Structure 1
Amino acid sequence: MAVRSLGYVVAETRDLERWRAFATDVLGMMPAPSPRDDVLLFRIDDRPWRLWVGKGERDAFVAPGWELESKAAFDATLDRLRAAGRPVELAGVMEARGRHVYELARSSDPAGNPMELYHGRFVDYAPFSSPAGVSGFVTGDNGDMGLGHVVLTAPNFEETHAFYKDVLGFGDTDLGRFYLGGGGPEDAGVGFAFMHCNGRHHSLALGQLPESPNGAVHMMLEVGELPDVGRAYDRVLRSKGAHAVSATLGQHVNDKMTSFYVQSPSGFDIEYGWNGLVIDPATWVPTTSMSVSAWGHKWAHEQD
């Protein structure tokens, strides 16, 4: 029994109002009722929330929330974490209730990336309505593909990669080595593992990179139509630098996602995309992609 999906993301910010405007006006997420004045919640489907942004002393990605399919899967996963020597902290009943889950625990991977784990599916049957007119976000039938994906750093790449497979039950989708320095004789390349826990091409990716100062490389949101991506890109450009473009429009080779990247108020990037590849985990044979993008995705350091 393993992780079912990326249920949510927790972030921290020093500027809640900037995040409120960014999430609703730029990304098109729907604000949700919050239990606290120092927390913003945002919806993208029928779950009560998918993004939790808390007021704090830093701007950062805090943790992904990995959903387990049942209490039995939750308990078994915590046992495997303890057996692997990872810390496990069980949250109290009231904190779990605040997250809209049945039970909640915290741990970390061997690279030190924090995580939350939970079980229990709460549903808000109020129709999703985007303030920016987004047609909808892709989370799968009954939300079974989850929020999207996250990309985390793992300097101890092999150990961390093995942990997510052996302890949390992820499968390999694509294992690449990208030569971000141009591929010259001095470029050793960077290892990447794109990993699935459902039909989404990847819910997690690990990069053989130093620890991120903002807690993660990026998180991804997938929208229902290509014009949703174009209109969001226009909204970012109209902000005249208030929201920096981290990568221009492009299409990735491995998950076929057409997307752009924008820096969030918490410092990590948001990939905003359409038409990601859906796989059959039971029959998928891992690939090795030799490049990042088929076209576009000009990164910030490459832009004029």
Structure 2
Amino acid sequence: MAVASLGYIVAKTRDLASWSAFATDVLGVMAAPSPRADVLLFRIDDRPFRIWVETGDTDAFVMPGWEFSTGDDMDAALERLRAGGHAVEILDVMSARTRHVSRLARSVDPQGHPFEMFHGRFLDYVPFASPSGVSGFVTGLNGEMGLGHVVLTAPRFEETYAFYKEILGFGDADFGRFYLAGGGPDDKGVGFAFMHAQNARHHSLALGELPESPNGAVHIMLEVNSIDDVGRAYDRARKHGAHISATLGKHVNDKMISFYVRSPSGFDIEYGCQGLQLDPANWVPTTSMAVSDWGHVWAHHKG
């Protein structure tokens, strides 16, 4: 009765042309047919889309789309939302069809972040082919591992964490308190919760005890097949002139080897490989005392 995976994300931008070039030339994702002139769709596997970018009055992350394996699982989550006093909007059949799903609903978490919920995947049987030669993105055998993960800010940390665990059914993967200001006497650290859905990906959602982001999210993650795919994307990003938010590095908790690049919507995209996979039914949560084993020098840091 829990979320199965991160099905897709929705972003907005003032410049669709920049997103189109960034997505295909840097990320190596595949442009897909769009239902509207003001929307770009991008795919990374056999789903009709995983990234939806629409024209807006600002550049920002809009919301994730959380997938449920069955209609019963989705209904149980909707009931928990209503029982907890959270408003639920059931989208009509045409809205669901536009998202290429059978049923679609929308709600908001305690921090004010909107999200969609769906079940019933559509397939168009068009094979994925990267325009930049990426060998493939890791989404699972039948896409069950989802797009990747999303990291959201949560100043109301405990309430937001409890919502995702108790209402949407996420499990605990890892906790951390990271001293992002250098660990001095005035650095109280930032709490993080890394939460897994019902699939093998280490985390599909992470919450950071951070101030609200003007761009709606801290970052999303895309996982590719190999370190060569990561390295070539890093080269493409630099050649493209994209902002490198963090250099190549390896995280301690999910073992992801990755770099971070700024999207045209203002949020970062972690682009990595070799992420840790777990058994969600038997995983024992960890507590990490560092962010990275090596690398990941952030752009605002010196050195």
* Category of TM-score, reference length = shorter chain: over 0.9
In 1: Cα distance, 2:152 partner to 2:302 partner? 24
Q: How large is the Cα RMSD of the aligned pairs?
A: 0.8
In 2: Cα distance, 1:9 partner to 1:274 partner? 20
1:24 aligns to 2:28 (yes or no): no
In 2: Cα distance, 1:102 partner to 1:282 partner? 27
For structure 2, the residue ranges without an aligned partner over 5 or more in a row are none
Q: Residues 96-135 of structure 1, C-alpha deviation per residue, up to 9 Å, x if partnerless?
A: 1000011111101111111000111111211110000000
Give 1:142 shift. 0.3
Secondary structure in 2 matching 1:173: strand
Q: Residues 161-198 of structure 1, C-alpha deviation per residue, up to 9 Å, x if partnerless?
A: 11111000000000110011111211111000000012
Given residue 206 of structure 1, which amino acid in structure 2 is its aligned partner? L
In 1: Cα distance, 2:134 partner to 2:97 partner? 29
Q: In the alignment, which residue of structure 2 is the partner of 1:55?
A: 55
Given residue 221 of structure 2, which amino acid in structure 1 is its aligned partner? M
1:208 aligns to 2:209 (yes or no): yes
Given residue 135 of structure 2, which amino acid in structure 1 is its aligned partner? S
TM-score (norm 2): 0.98
Q: In the alignment, which residue of structure 2 is the partner of 1:289?
A: 288
The 5-angstrom pairing of residues 198-237 of structure 1 reads: 198-237=199-238
Given residue 270 of structure 2, which amino acid in structure 1 is its aligned partner? E
Give 1:56 shift. 1.1
Q: In the alignment, which residue of structure 1 is the partner of 2:267?
A: 268
Give 1:266 shift. 0.2
Q: In the alignment, which residue of structure 2 is the partner of 1:42?
A: 42
Q: In the alignment, which residue of structure 2 is the partner of 1:9?
A: 9
In 2: Cα distance, 1:59 partner to 1:180 partner? 25
The 5-angstrom pairing of residues 1-304 of structure 1 reads: 1-197=1-197, 198-239=199-240, 242-303=241-302
Given residue 223 of structure 1, which amino acid in structure 2 is its aligned partner? V
Given residue 275 of structure 2, which amino acid in structure 1 is its aligned partner? G
In 2: Cα distance, 1:103 partner to 1:284 partner? 30
Q: Give runs of ≥4 in structure 1 deviating > 2 Å.
A: none
Q: Residues 68-100 of structure 1, C-alpha deviation per residue, up to 9 Å, x if partnerless?
A: 111111111111111112111111111110000
In 2: Cα distance, 1:211 partner to 1:88 partner? 23
Give 1:231 shift. 0.3
Q: Report percent identity of matched pairs.
A: 72
In 2: Cα distance, 1:283 partner to 1:39 partner? 40
Given residue 234 of structure 1, which amino acid in structure 2 is its aligned partner? D
In 2: Cα distance, 1:221 partner to 1:124 partner? 22
Alignment length (residue pairs): 302
